Amino acid sequence: MGKANKTAMRDYMSMVKFGHTLFAMPFALTGFFLGVMNTEEPLSWKLLVLVVLCMVFARNAAMGFNRYIDRDIDSKNPRTFKREIPAGIVKARSALVFVVLNSLLFIACTWFINPISFYLSPIALLVVLGYSLTKKFTSLCHFVLGIGLALAPIGSYLAVTGTFDLLPVFYSLLVLFWVSGFDMLYALQDEDFDKSMNLRSIVVLLGKKGALRLSGAVHLLSAGFVLGIGILAGFGIFYWIGSIIFAGLLAYQHMIVKPDDLSRVNLAFFTTNGIASVVFAVFNITDILLR
């Protein structure tokens, strides 16, 4: 790969914040191994690779579309005007081609998984791409983002088993409320800008204090599903160790982010949630494999 191609690849990966795949990927892997546990089929490395690729392509498409749709808004926001499209590093048309390519690759991967994954793939894309439009008309946009990432555990479980089940739905609800809660924290930074642009969010609707309270409430719901999963599945000590750490990191976010002090929002959003998802998944998957 030539230097120009490497630079272009780096620009596109920066545009979609590729490292943030860390948020949902651990839950996709958890759903995968949960599916393996509930089927008599041996672990398929080929299927595992396909699930990982689906996650990567779907997220690339979603983030690329978000950057494309929000390019004009981003150019006006002091926090985002240096993003790749407003800064001219990636052309808008090229970003759209990137979205289409990743969407097609996602659908192609589902074709090789099983029929139900393939048939449902357009719906999954509709959800993850549609999130980018929601901030223009609903304050519930955070929950739409949560639904998008919540597809990870149930989708990977479906890839293995070809069937729906209650337990992966619980995992998806855990992810839904976890993501919605931390996205509200992240949106605290843009309250004034969003108001000036007539954009919607829980922060715009309820103010910083109200958004923090609601974020805490939905994180409590997420922790509740962590508890429910452990009881429903009868998981062992490793699951509960991971769960305690996960719940502790949720609480930590609300200790360091205050209405009048947003200096540690990025620490709460990126670092804390990245660690939380990885730790929870590692301990959960360990428990599954030892059963």
Number of residues that make up the chain: 291
Integer Cα distance of 180 and 148 in angstroms: 10
Q: What pLDDT does 1 receive? A: 52
| Sequence-separated (6 or more) residues with CB below 8 Å from residue 222 | 174, 175, 176, 177, 178, 181, 250
**Sign of torsion, CA 39 227 182 276?**
negative
Can you give the pTM of this predicted structure? 0.94
Q: What pLDDT does 17 receive? A: 78
Q: What residue ranges define each of the domains in the chain, with the CATH number in brackets?
A: 3-289 (1.10.357.140)
CA-based max dimension of the chain? 56
Integer Cα distance of 149 and 4 in angstroms: 32
pLDDT tens digit at each of 291 positions of the chain: 556 666 778 888 888 877 667 778 999 999 999 999 888 778 899 999 999 999 999 999 999 999 999 999 999 999 888 989 999 999 999 999 999 999 999 999 999 999 999 999 999 999 999 999 999 999 999 999 999 999 999 999 999 999 989 999 999 999 999 999 999 999 999 999 999 999 999 999 999 999 999 999 999 999 999 999 999 999 999 999 999 999 999 999 999 888 888 888 876 777 888 899 999 999 999 999 998
- Name the 3-class secondary structure at 261: strand
Phi and psi angles of residue 164, each rounded to the nearest 5 degrees, phi first: -95, 155
Q: What pLDDT does 269 receive? A: 73
